[in-house]
Amino acid sequence: MLQNFFSYILQGVSITIAVTLVALPAGLALGLGLALVNTYGGPWLKRLSAAYSLLMRGVPPVVLLFILYFILSGNVVNLTPFWAGSVSLGIISSAYQMEILRGALLSISGGQMTAARAIGMSRWQAIRNIILPQALRIAIPPWSNEASIVLKDSSLVYALGVPEILRRAQQLSATTQQPMLAFGAAALIYFVLVFLVNRGLDTLAEKTKLPTQAA
């Protein structure tokens, strides 16, 4: 019985991982663009990206999920529950990742930009070759927080009927009346996933560390 329990919940892992693999990179791409625009763009772009960040950090993920799936999807574009869930998590995460990357960009001293411009680099060249390589490294530790949050938030797609880890645990809890066992198994699986992600990112941070960065 215990084994059945575990294997049934374990089948949800692939969905949890798939949702995370869509939401996290999508959020990174969007968040990076927004962070650059917010740091180096003109006043209007700055205001627009700041407003986006404020709005998306203020909306609970599950609300955006319902808007995207039940209201927009079907009328505008047809999204499956999986994509509606992954995209809305990606959008929310992009706002948080934008703030993480913005902080990292701002932590690179302004003198470096001035120096780069003085030796004849364009603004974009300076950002790409001087600022970004440093900022991205600095952003890894706070970004690994965001990665584990997205991993755990991926459970929200259950609201649309995608049978990931948490929903499977709920079903087992309802069938067997052993919530301790069902949710304990789910917690253990989440813990292992988050642990692996954080360890991986720690290693990445260590490997790519700059000489100027503290140990």
Partner 1 sequence: MKRLYFWFALVLVMSLLLAACGGAAGGSQLDVIKKAGVIKVGTSADYPPFEYIDESGNKAGFDIELMEEIAKRLGVKVEWVDMPFDSLIAGVQEGKIDISISAFNYTEERDQVVDFSDTYYDGEDAFAVADGFAGSIQAPEDVAAYKVGVQNGTTQDGWLTGLVDEGLLAEANLFRYDRADQAALDLKNGRIDVMMADSVPMKALAAQLGGLKIVYEGVVSSGPMNIVIPEGATELGQAINEVIAQLEAEGFIEALALKHFGQ
Residues within the interface to partner 1 (CB under 8 A):
1, 4, 7-8, 11, 66, 69-71, 73-78, 81, 158-161, 163, 167-168, 170-175, 177, 179
Give min distance, CB of 53 to partner 1, in A.
21
Q: Which two tokens stand for residue 87?
A: 């995209």
Give min distance, CB of 179 to partner 1, in A.
7
Give min distance, CB of 32 to partner 1, in A.
18
Residue closer to partner 1, measured from CB, 8 or 149: 8
Residue closer to partner 1, measured from CB, 145 or 176: 176
Give min distance, CB of 80 to partner 1, in A.
9
DSSP notation for 83-100: HHHHHHHHHHHHHHHHHH
Residue closer to partner 1, measured from CB, 63 or 77: 77
Q: How many CB atoms lie within 10 A of CB 24?
A: 25
Spatial distance between the Cα atoms of 53 and 182, rounded to a whole number of angstroms:
36
Give min distance, CB of 115 to partner 1, in A.
30
Spatial distance between the Cα atoms of 70 and 174, rounded to a whole number of angstroms:
26
Residue closer to partner 1, measured from CB, 3 or 212: 3
- Report the amino acid identity of residue 92: I
User: Could you tell me if 129 and 121 are in contact, meaning their C-beta atoms sit under 8 angstroms apart?
Assistant: yes
Residue with tokens 């927009």: 72
Enclosing H/E stretch for 8: helix 2-10
